[in-house]
Amino acid sequence: MSAPVRIGTCSWADDAFVKHWYPPGVPARERLAYYAERFSTVEVDSTFYRVPTEQMVRGWAERTPPGFVMHVKAFGLMTRHPVPIERVPPDLREGLPVDERGRVDRPPREARAAVFREFLAALEPLRAAGKLGGILFQLPPYVTWKPSSLDYLEWAHEQLGGDRMLAEFRHRSWFQEETLRWLDERGIAYVTVDAPKTDAANVPPTLVAATSPLAYVRFHGRNAGTWNRRGGGAAERFDHLYAEDELREWVEPLRTLASESEEAYAFFNNNNQTNGVAQAPAGAELLRSLLESEDVPVA
């Protein structure tokens, strides 16, 4: 039996959702519940920018139905991104190295470990409710395949304890069979991506694979023109409304991933709008329709 493909979006509160997807007048507090009536899973990306509080996470657990799954993106300092000091939890700021731009960069392992502990402790309400999927580790594009990178990733995996790691790479040096074997040996889930078709070193190629019982695909859009535009934000980088033929390409790969896995997920990270259409939920709804029409189980 194939695992049903759970389809969702990366965030439920971006501007395009609020302006073009939620009905007018839906209060901010009720948006997650509205979203969860239509999708069975979501990826929380706001946690990349700030460590959530346990109270915040408890609210997510309470506003979603039984069986709903939330994957949570790791805080930037956990994935070797420099982070403004004001985004680090106040109780963890003392003694951290700060660069000339006011960012914490390359802190000692013990300082990072403290961030891991606080981050993971905040997720306990989701964990207790059985709604925590995995922790998404999206490495920076300048982190390449080399022994020191593998050492850090293995150390980070150990910090998670019983929580599952989802690893997304953005430098092309990672996209090789040796990476997949390394992940498989440790039970770390490889994240497959759909991105622009270009040879730029920081645009990940699409290598469809699963290295754990959990298969995971992220749709970043295919807008090569905005991906590396200087000064552009995430909404501009991933500005792309998927066409039916582009998503139809994914029917058979998702069928295969689902047949080889215990859990399968597909998330849309193109959180912008096109002519009044919120791109991410539109893509998620279209993919669900295409999979259903081809008898691929969805949830």
Question: What is the pLDDT, as a whole number, of residue 232?
Answer: 64
What is the mean pLDDT of the segment spanning 11-33? 95
Residues with Cβ within 8 Å of 176's Cβ and at least 6 positions away in sequence, in order, are 145
Check if the beta carbon of residue 271 is closer than 8 Å to that of residue 17.
yes
Q: Residue 263: which pLDDT band, with cuts at 50, 70 and 90?
A: very high
What is the mean pLDDT of the segment spanning 262-287? 95
DSSP 79: G
Q: What is the CATH number of domain 5-293?
A: 3.20.20.410
Collapse the DSSP code of 62 into the 3-class scheme (helix H, G, I; strand E, B; otherwise coil) and give the result.
helix
Strands 103-104 and 83-84: antiparallel
For the chain, give the longest Cα–Cα distance. Answer: 57
- Between the CA of residue 126 and those of 10, 46, 131, 176, 215, what are the distances in Å? 17, 16, 5, 34, 20
Predicted TM-score (pTM) of this structure:
0.94
Any bridge partners for residue 72, and if so which?
A: 44, 135
Collapse the DSSP code of 83 into the 3-class scheme (helix H, G, I; strand E, B; otherwise coil) and give the result.
strand
At 206-254, the pLDDT tens digits run 999 999 999 999 999 998 777 776 666 776 777 889 999 999 999 999 9
Rounded to whole angstroms, the Cα distance separating 268 from 261 reads 20
Question: What is the pLDDT, as a whole number, of residue 131?
Answer: 98
Query: 221-259 burial, b for 16+ CB within 10 Å, e for fewer?
Result: bbbeebbeeeeeebbebbbbbbeeebbbebbebbbbbbe
CA-based R_g, the chain, Å? 19
Helical segments of the chain, H only: 15-20, 31-36, 54-62, 109-122, 124-128, 147-159, 177-186, 224-227, 234-237, 244-248, 251-259, 279-293
Phi and psi at residue 193, in whole multiples of 5°? Answer: -125, 150
Share of the chain above pLDDT 70, in %: 97
Check if the beta carbon of residue 219 is closer than 8 Å to that of residue 281.
no
Q: Residue 288: which pLDDT band, with cuts at 50, 70 and 90?
A: very high
- Residue ranges per structural domain of the chain: 5-293
Check if the beta carbon of residue 5 is closer than 8 Å to that of residue 292.
no
Question: What is the pLDDT, as a whole number, of residue 230?
Answer: 67
Query: 267-278 burial, b for 16+ CB within 10 Å, e for fewer?
Result: bbbbbbbeeeeb
Residues with Cβ within 8 Å of 26's Cβ and at least 6 positions away in sequence, in order, are 34
